[in-house]
Amino acid sequence: MRPAATVQPWLSTEELPAWVREAPDKDSYQRRLAIGLTQVGRFPAHQIAEWLCVSKQGVWLWVGQYNRQGPEGLDRQGRGGPRWAYLSLEEEAAFLRRWQQQAVEGKVLTAKQLPAQCVQRAGRNLTLGYVYGLLHRQGWRKLGPRPRHPQADPRAPQRFKKNFPGSWKTP
């Protein structure tokens, strides 16, 4: 079993509890508490992970970030956002603006019509899944009439409602 990690003395043992208590949210509190337990209690990572209900690898990651960057290393933001996007969000919005008028007028516009133009804009081959993701990111959604059979009688539902012998109707 690995020994308990050593933590660089960025904060003294008197400053550490105050730093842990000042955490702005639960995630920050967990990270800071892991550092505090490692520094003051000298507990191994697997025990800290069990107590905090996180993974052992996460505890080792936090200790490494703290050792390299100090207390600010734990307050970093996540990796959110499109990491492998071929177009920026602004370029995607500009690309879809060209199609917006057709969509508003009710002309048929499907995702399968867009990849060819999107390939020209991005300069590389794109999948249909990328186009669907682009539409989702920009807030586009499917709007269309509910499907109906071409030979359906529009008065049939009303006749059915009037003539249905429902057992739950009270006389």
Q: Is 82 helix (H, G, I), strand (E, B) or coil?
A: coil
Structure tokens at 117: 């133009």
Contact 58, 68 (CB under 8 A): no
Kindly state the DSSP code that residue 106 receives in the 8-state scheme: T
Q: In the predicted model, is pLDDT for residue 168 greater than 60? A: no
Q: What is the pTM of this model?
A: 0.49
Q: What are the pLDDT digits (tens) for 57-67?
A: 999 999 999 99
* Mean per-residue pLDDT of the chain: 85
Distance, CA of 98 to CA of 27 (rounded, Å): 42
pLDDT digits (tens, 9 = 90+) for 132-158: 888 898 988 876 677 888 888 988 888
Buried-state track 75-97, b at ≥16 Cβ within 10 A, e below 16: eeeeeeeeeeebbeeeebeebbe
Evaluate whether 90 touches 137 at the Cβ level (below 8 Å).
Answer: no
What residue segments make up the domains of the chain, in order of their start? 15-75, 89-137
135 against 104, higher pLDDT: 135
